[in-house]
Amino acid sequence: MIEFSKLLHDKKSLSFLSFLIGMGLVVLLFHKPYDSYQFLSIPVSDVERKIIRHGEKCYTYVAEDCLCPSVNKDGRRSN
């Protein structure tokens, strides 16, 4: 087993440890968590199958089922 006192006096291992500590500090300081937002929306029955004109084009809205991402208690997504 390698003695830690020898590692602390070796120049190569000291620079490697400094690099690891520096990377850890960078991650801690500059990490930005992803936010998820909850908001109210229009009921689907109010917009589904209605024709909307925007300029020269007409659009029809159709609701589709999809899988929702799971959300933690603190509101962040977990994949």
pLDDT in tens, the chain (79 residues): 567 777 777 788 888 889 999 999 998 888 777 777 777 778 888 878 888 889 999 988 887 877 776 766 666 666 5
Helix, coil or strand: residue 43: coil
Long-range contacts of 20-24 (CB under 8 A, 24+ apart): none
The residue ranges of DSSP E strands in the chain, in sequence order, are 51-54, 57-60
Task: Give the bridge partners for 61, in sequence order.
Answer: 48
The pTM (predicted TM-score) of the whole model is 0.36
